[in-house]
Structure 1
Amino acid sequence: MQPYPHRFADPQLDKFDPLGRILVHDTFSAGLNGWIGLIGNYEDSLTKMLPVFRPMNQPMLSTAVGWDSGSHGAMSGPYAMKIATRPIKGAMNLALKRMTFRKLGRIQLEAYIAAKPEPSEATLSIEDLRSFGMFMDLQSRQYRGLPHLRFLNCLDGELKHTWQFKQQTADDNVVSSSARTRSLQHLYPHGWEDVPDGRQDTCYNELPTKMNWQYLKVGVDLRDMSFTSFQFNDREFDVSGMGVMRMEPWANLDCMLNIGFFVETDSDKRSFLFVDSVLLSGDF
């Protein structure tokens, strides 16, 4: 009889399907573990920051309080990481973890997440959430690559329920008087393309205060900055038609491995993305 994989000894790991080496395993009942909000690049003055980054704020630890049930809690403990937009239609917020890699190979990001509009009124509010998703910011000596995926739930009040990716190279701007510091506009709303056969009905539930934890898995090959896998709940998608934003390397970013999650609102109401736990693994 073959021995069980080591993750079976830990129920917190057994809910994931990692590659051979676990690089990150974060559960937010243990704190934010280095996850932080995105501060747009600038030099000389904060006014040099691009407008898309200015409304963003920091993630927080949350018990997901609701008016009818008290504290919902996370899937794996009392606290989840909560990413909240401002109450402005089209506003986005995100959280990321900044790391580096030690070898080119495949990586895989897995997470349990829940996306909801703020339950500020007794209506279902399903149209108030525009999108949620993940991104990476990676750099080898050959490429800078930015894999992006989002679930477009609703756009201008019309339900879409479609996964999308970005591969168009984003604009960049010099944001310093010395011309040494640049900022990349990869988070602006233009440039999204539909994932082939990417429509998916997800679990939203029947009340604005209810939450359902959902599974996300995304694989990327660092060698050519390409998608290797994509799964959400029970759906495994064909990644052969999905591209990655790829460009020449930037200065000062060798071996960069940043992972992140974001959420957007489609109304003048805050939208939330709760992250219960994250696992990043590699085949090296």
Structure 2
Amino acid sequence: MTDIAGNDLRRAMQMANPSLSRFDPLPRIITFDDFDRGFSGWTQLVGNYEEDLDSMLPGYAQHLSPMLSTLPHWDAGSHGSFDGSYALKIATRPKRGAQNVAIKRLTFRHAGPIRIEAYVTFKPEASELKLSEADVRSFGFLYDLQVGDGAGDGGQRVMPHMRFLNALDGEHIQRWQFKPQTTSFKPIGHDDKTVSHYHLAPEGWVDLPGGEQRLCYNEIPTKVNWTYLCLDFDLATMQCTGFRCNDRVFDVSTYEPIRIPAMKNLWCMLNLGFFAETDTDKRAFLYVDSVCLSGDF
């Protein structure tokens, strides 16, 4: 079978599958997670610790485990997910500025193009009879990547982050941002084996050019609408190559991920993460219906 015929057959099979046809994957699907089938390896982002859990940085200590949710609400029962019953729910603590992160930990077998696609929706906890459209500060997603061990001492750990800054201090902003720098490293424990840094700290976010976008946020605090996200990245060059949200394609020519020296035990790392942040003393929720990670290899 020729490559063209093979590509046509693969595309036809994807289009015939309702769960996959809503995505635009690269030729090889690495993982497809529909949370009607369970957690699929997504878990809490636990910070590094050694000897004592209290050695964990405060940013990580606030994190909680993700949940499987039917999106219940008080006025009409359960909303359900995009095309089933369950979505992955990432919920913050009810404290202004609190964050939570869910992560899936993989490794890669080829340094080529990758694409993450997802359908998500965000809401604050519906604890008041008002819209509360500025109660979620932000939500977003990230890669955490490291080159293979063949790179030697010159290798890098690269952490592409993208967030939708929905609101800040009550002001409704609605803008996409990226993060080119992390916080300083801190030693963990006494054996010189573990360090930690909180890469989702509020400092250092940069506006994506033309990144203003008004997302669908329905008229009462319990209604949700699903949003499509897609981020392209090249593991060979460690550069972002594309980003889109719903009908918008954004300029990523100035996008720069966090870059730090390779760490001694994270070779070929390919981690995926989603996060939420609240702007008020109520919980913020990010729901993820499904995630497709694909590659061109």
User: TM-score normalized by structure 2?
Assistant: 0.94
Quote how far apart the aligned CAs of 1:169 are: 4.0
| Whole-angstrom distance in 2 between the partners of 1:9 and 1:252 | 41
Conservation of the 8 A alpha-carbon contact between 2:41 and 2:104: yes
1:220 aligns with 2:233: yes
1:67 aligns with 2:80: no
Quote how far apart the aligned CAs of 1:19 are: 0.4
Quote how far apart the aligned CAs of 1:248 are: 1.1
Long gaps (5+) in structure 2: none
| Aligned pairs, number | 284
| Whole-angstrom distance in 2 between the partners of 1:200 and 1:56 | 28
1:153 aligns with 2:160: no
1:185 aligns with 2:198: yes
- When the two chains are superposed, the root-mean-square deviation of aligned CA atoms in Å is 1.1
**3-state DSSP of counterpart to 2:221:** coil
Long gaps (5+) in structure 1: none
Conservation of the 8 A alpha-carbon contact between 1:116 and 1:273: yes
1:25 equivalent among 20, 32, 35: 32
1:104 aligns with 2:111: yes
**3-state DSSP of counterpart to 2:134:** helix
2:42 equivalent among 35, 42, 46: 35
Quote how far apart the aligned CAs of 1:5 are: 2.9
**3-state DSSP of counterpart to 1:126:** coil
Q: What residue is the counterpart of 2:183 in the other structure? A: 170
**3-state DSSP of counterpart to 1:120:** coil
User: What aligned pairs does 1:1-284 form with structure 2 within 5 A after superposition?
Assistant: 3=9, 4-140=11-147, 141=151, 142-284=155-297
Conservation of the 8 A alpha-carbon contact between 1:99 and 1:256: yes
Quote how far apart the aligned CAs of 1:6 are: 2.2
Runs of 4+ in 1 over 2 A off after TM superposition: 1-6
Conservation of the 8 A alpha-carbon contact between 1:40 and 1:54: yes
User: TM-score normalized by structure 1?
Assistant: 0.98
Q: Which amino acid aligns with 1:236?
A: V
Conservation of the 8 A alpha-carbon contact between 2:182 and 2:198: no
| Whole-angstrom distance in 1 between the partners of 2:239 and 2:189 | 32
Conservation of the 8 A alpha-carbon contact between 2:107 and 2:271: yes
String of CA shifts for 1:116-151, please: whole Å, max 9, x gaps: 001111110111100000011100032100000000
**3-state DSSP of counterpart to 1:5:** helix
Q: Which amino acid aligns with 2:91?
A: A
- Percentage of matched positions with identical amino acids: 53
Conservation of the 8 A alpha-carbon contact between 2:182 and 2:197: no
Conservation of the 8 A alpha-carbon contact between 1:173 and 1:184: yes
